[in-house]
Chains A and B, each alone.
Chain A
Amino acid sequence: MQRVGVFVCWCGSNIAGTVDVHAVAEALKSEPGVVFSTDYQYMCSQAGQDIIKQAIAEHNLTGIVVCSCSPRMHEATFRKTAQAAGLNPYMVEIANIREQCSWVHKDMLTGTEKAIILGKAAVAKVNLNTPLTPGESPVTKRALVIGGGIAGIQTALDIADAGFPVDIVEKQPTIGGKMAQLDKTFPTLDCAACILTPKMVDVAQNEKIRIFSYSEVEEVGGFVGNFDVKIKKKARFVKEDICTGCGACVEKCPMKKNPNEFNLGMDNRPAIYIPFAQAVPKVATIDPNACNMLKNGKCGLCARVCAAGAIDYTQKDEIIEEKYGAIVVATGFNPISMEKFDEFAYNQSKDVITSLEFERLTNAAGPSAGKLIRPSDGKHPHTIVFVQCVGSRCDACAEKGKEYCSKICCMYTAKHAMLTRDKYPDTDVYVFYIDVRTPGKNFDEFYRRAVEEFGVKYVKGMVGKVTPEGDKLKVQASDLLSNKQLHIDADLVVLAAAIEPDKSARPLATMLTASMDTNDFFTEAHPKLRPVESPTAGVFLSGACQGPKDIPETVSQAGAAASKVIGLLAKDKLTGNPCIASSNELMCNGCSSCERVCPYGAITYVDKEFRMPDRTTKIRRVASVNPAVCQGCGACTVACPSGAMDLKGFANSQIIAEVDAICK
């Protein structure tokens, strides 16, 4: 029989407000096994924990029940407390009387009644607890960063800085991501390239960092500290180590007419290309769908002009297998497709563009060499209309847009408007908005300058329709403040498209068994307290894959993720979760049901000699669980027909004891 101590937490008034904590402590006194029961204002506080430690010592408790907030909150805390008092940490059970009781029930009587029952269930369970000792597994001291945008770059640099090797996997031919496509950055208006490209170079030159560009994660196995990852290095038909990036091939390539992804298809690139001048790695890549040599075996010009002899038409996709201790997801974002937004005539007119396209259009390295022109006729636009929240914050248009706020649009639109007015004072600039959201250091000041100093015409209201007419774009909009209908003849319309997680995130999440929210943003282990960790141990989140972010936020989160990774890789061993499956060999039939449902391949079979009840011996096939691989889901326990398979910490007997206690 256990000697159980019960500790009821008031959590200030959070629990005590709707639960009579004294009554709970009193009621649980008479439960079997309970030898001590008390309540205190804040059990998780130092003083509270001391009460627990003291009681363990004085009443030599063998198990404790803490009636408090969710185990997801403080189970770890109280386990440490128990351990500090010499009790096995797994002799602790939590009765969740806050999140699942005091916070959801209004009146004292109901709350108290339920709290007592939850307490009884926890006591019933702890009575059946047994001390558990976690297994240990080594840590592979290497990190994988998926995505080579500013988030990935910063995370990689910080991890490498701490002395751990890092691999970056980037699906594009170069790292740099979205930031590389930007012109200037708010609110300081310094040029994106000027602050990003040096970091890209650092990455290239850091001997701790390997860049797998033009590559994708193919498969992820293993678990925290011991991930086995397969990376597919797509054939770029150019030997990376030999190519000097001189660009001769790019010059000579006859197949020039291919939409240039980097400039969002606003101009063309050859079949063999280097995305942009500061690309890292600065290596050419052949687009197999465009290259005549690869398609029809004719041409081969690039091979001939390549002094270094880097061209290799026979190159194949290559699978690289590597072990990692930690994985950082930095898959970033994309503007949503404007296809469905006919009202803005995005498909009808070349002069309706997205903000990212506008960035390229105003970028010195862009299709128009930084000269602001209309894509349709190359003329200088005199009237520009910026439309905000296109696809953002639309609960109505959820099927084509997003319900959330994309966060960055207000600021970059202000930036665009300001820069336009600055460079081209003769241009009329309208910005249509629902609200202008400018929290953040120097953000509001920045926006007000756009209005006050640069005379940008901000109109509260949405654009109803854009109709191409002649060389004009007729913009119908409503001014909600003056409550007037506006008709503007615009030369250029810029849509602040909502942003969404990159499409590659969903399959990746499945590979990583990391959870996502309904918008396919990765969910964090805790929205406030563990914002850069995914619930899956060893997987961390950096940048916009977790939610819309601007550059400063992204960089700071990237650093945070890096520090978590460093913390993990600094350990030599990880103590695993001891709540894993184990099979009673005497009852095991060796039928393989458990093996079939195990998602981790943690179960294998061995032939063992057994002494049967009739005193004969028999060789039987029985299951054995690999404690390092088992993650403790329990699928096997139900698949097992004889009940030989059970789960430590969540044993059949324990769960049934809880059921009984609850159903009394």
Chain B
Amino acid sequence: MQKITQNQLVEKAVSLLTDGTVSAVLGWKKGEFDYDITPAVFKTADEIKENFVWNDFCGANFSKYLVAQAGKHEGKILVFLKPCDTYSFNQLLTEHRFDREKVYAVGIPCEGMADIAKVKELVGDGIVSIEADGDSLKVSTLYEDAPALVNAKDVMAERCVNCKSKKHVAYDELMGEDGIVLESNRFDEVARLEAMTPDERFAFWQNELSRCIRCNACRDACPACTCEKCVFDNPASSVENKAPANSFEEKMFHIIRAFHVAGRCTDCGECSRVCPQNIPLHLLNRKFIKDINEFYGEYQAGAEVGLRAPLVDYTTEDLEPGEVFDRGDKDA
């Protein structure tokens, strides 16, 4: 159901590669089952023609790869950016994490990505192929003779259901037309939790975080987590460890991770997408975003390059830490 087609992207990539604008291409690579797409660095037109894919499962946010890839190849690298990816792109630029001159960014529209788990919930396991078919996905499995048609909306990833913006905030070139910043309900779930009693909230998070296996996928996929050395890998940091020994360490890891990206997180949702244990990590980040909006005024990280993150800023009239609890239900 993506408006822009795979062929258009392939052509674009090939032409930019052949006319020398770029020397490498960050794109999505075909997998085994139509849904297991791998981010890849393409160097030749043939590779691109053979393996480049663009479908409803191209969720990966490429911005973070630029920290390593920009400047690695002589000349520029081409990166395809969905609207939400462009926010991470700007945030990384704000933090001087890669050289803008070494990148050729092509903005591409996104109609929202599918979540394979949701697909399997509907049609079951044993998927052998998924094809886009208008606003639906045609899914064939080992166990049903006829392929099942599922509405793409019904299997859309949470972050896309609550898409915050279809607008590209950064690009050298835009394919298709640009969208607008959306009125999303992305804070509803946070609000639902806020409305619970502390005991309920504690129970909720205890249960969610207890599944954490500290694989660090959330951290390593996060475009805001680009530290040269993460505190959790640094024995000198006093929080370094490789596994959550108990519920405290589960909490500590996720509190610190969320705090470190507070005000810098663009809410791209990669953390939750990659979590093998389906922990809704994005809720922690969104809590910070919601608070920041309520305490210090609307702020969208990455909306522009050079914005001053709320936690490295202040006004003399800021509310007191004690007031955050009795501020009533101020609307975000």
Residues of A within 8 A of B (CB): 586-593, 596-597, 620-621, 639, 641-644, 652-653, 656
A-facing residues in B224-242 (Cβ within 8 Å): 226-231, 234, 236-238
Q: Interface segment, B75-83, B179-187, B271-279, B305-313?
A: B305-313
Please tell me if the beta carbons of A656 and B238 are within 8 angstroms of each other in the complex: yes
- Please tell me if B173 contacts chain A, counting CB pairs below 8 Å: no
A642 contacts which of B228, B238, B313 (Cβ < 8 Å)?
A: B228
CB of A639 within 8 A of CB of B312, answer: yes
Per the bound structure, the CA–CA distance linking A417 and B97 in Å amounts to: 76
Question: B312 to A589, Cβ gap below 8 A?
Answer: no
Nearest 6 A-B pairs (CB), nearest first?
A: A591-B95, A642-B227, A596-B312, A587-B229, A641-B260, A643-B231
Chain A nearest CB from B304 CB (Å) reads 15
- 26 sample A-B contacts, Cβ–Cβ < 8 Å, listed by A number: A587-B227, A587-B228, A588-B228, A589-B95, A589-B97, A589-B226, A589-B227, A589-B228, A590-B95, A590-B97, A591-B96, A591-B97, A592-B94, A592-B95, A593-B309, A596-B313, A639-B311, A639-B312, A641-B260, A641-B264, A643-B237, A644-B228, A644-B229, A653-B236, A653-B238, A656-B238
A642 and B97 contacting across the interface, CB-CB below 8 Å: no
Using a CB-CB cutoff of 8 Å, which residues 89-119 of chain B contact chain A?
94-97
- Contact A597/B227 with A587-B234, A643-B237, A653-B238 known, Cβ cut-off 8 Å: no
Closest A residue by C-beta to B237: A643
What residues of chain B have their CB less than 8 Å away from a CB belonging to chain A? 94-97, 226-231, 234, 236-238, 260-261, 264, 308-309, 311-313
Q: Would you give the shortest CB distance from B321 to chain A, in whole angstroms?
A: 15
Given the complex of chains A and B, what is the CA–CA distance between A621 and B93 in angstroms? 13
- Name B229's contact: one of A591, A597, A642 (CB within 8 Å): A642
Question: Which residues of B lie under 8 Å from residue A642 when comparing CB positions?
Answer: 227-231
Give the residues in chain B near A652, CB-CB below 8 Å.
237-238
A659 CB, nearest partner CB in chain B, Å: 10
- Chain A residue numbers with a CB within 8 Å of B234 are 587, 643
Chain B proximity of A586: nearest CB distance (Å): 7
Contact A590 B312 (CB under 8 A): no
**Pairwise interchain contact A586-B96, C-beta atoms closer than 8 A:** no
* A-B contacts, CB under 8 A, total: 53
Residues of B within 8 A of A587 (CB): 227-229, 234
CB distance from B291 to the nearest CB of A (A): 18
Q: A residues within 8 A CB of B237? A: 643, 652
Chain A minimum-CB-distance residue to B229? A587
Sample of 18 further A-B pairs with CB below 8 A, known A589-B95, A590-B96: A586-B228, A586-B229, A587-B229, A587-B234, A591-B95, A593-B95, A593-B312, A596-B308, A639-B311, A641-B261, A641-B264, A642-B227, A642-B229, A643-B234, A643-B237, A652-B237, A652-B238, A653-B236
B95 proximity list for chain A (CB < 8 A): 589-593
Which residue of chain A lies nearest to B226 when distances are taken between CB atoms in the complex? A589
Q: Which residues of A contact B260 (CB under 8 A)?
A: 641
Bound CA–CA A589/B260 (angstroms): 13
> Please, which residues of chain B bring their CB within 8 A of the CB of A656?
238
Once bound together, how far apart are the Cα atoms of A596 and B264, in whole Å?
14
- A590 CA to B96 CA, complexed, in Å: 7
Main secondary structure of the interface of A (DSSP, over half): loop
Closest to B225 in A: A641
Give Cα A620 to B228, complex, Å: 10
Instruction: Give the chain A neighbours of B227 by CB distance below 8 A.
Output: 587, 589, 641-642
Smallest CB gap from A596: residue in B: B312
Q: Tell me the smallest distance from the CB of A130 to a CB of chain B, in Å.
A: 14
* Residues in B whose Cβ lies below 8 Å from that of A588: 228
CA distance A642 to B311 in the complex (A): 15
Closest-by-CB residue of A relative to B264 is: A641
In the complex, A587 Cα to B227 Cα: how many Å? 7
CA distance A479 to B224 in the complex (A): 75
Contacts of B229 in A (CB 8 A): 586-587, 642, 644
Q: Output the least CB separation between B166 and chain A (Å).
A: 28
List the B side residues contacting A586 at CB < 8 Å. 228-229
A621 to B96, CA, bound (A): 8
A residues less than 8 Å from B226 (CB atoms): 589
CB pair B312 A597 closer than 8 Å: yes
CB distance from A653 to the nearest CB of B (A): 7
- A620 CB contacts on chain B under 8 angstroms: 228
Contacts of A596 in B (CB 8 A): 308-309, 312-313
A652-B236 Cα distance, complex, nearest whole Å: 9
Residue in chain A with minimal CB distance to B238: A656
Q: Which residues of B contact A644 (CB under 8 A)?
A: 228-229
A589: chain B residues at CB < 8 Å are 95, 97, 226-228
In the assembled complex, how far is the CB of residue A619 from the closest CB belonging to chain B, in whole angstroms? 9
Cα distance A656–B238 in the bound complex, in angstroms: 8
Q: Report B296 CB to chain A, min CB distance, Å.
A: 15
Most buried by B among A592, A593, A643, A644: A643
Q: In the complex the two chains form, is A592's CB within 8 Å of B231's CB?
A: no
Which of B96, B230, B237, B312 has its CB near the most chain A CB atoms (within 10 A)?
A: B312
CA distance A656 to B236 in the complex (A): 11
Separation of A408 and B144 alpha carbons in the complex (Å): 99
Nearest CB in chain B to that of A641: its residue:
B260
Instruction: Give Cα distance in the complex from A620 to B96, angstroms.
Output: 10
- Please, how many angstroms separate the alpha-carbon atoms of A591 and B313 in the complex? 15
- CA A593 – CA B311 in complex, angstroms? 9
CA distance A588 to B230 in the complex (A): 10
> In the complex, what distance in Å separates the CA atom of A642 from the CA atom of B227?
6
Contacts of A590 in B (CB 8 A): 95-97
A348 to B100, CA, bound (A): 72
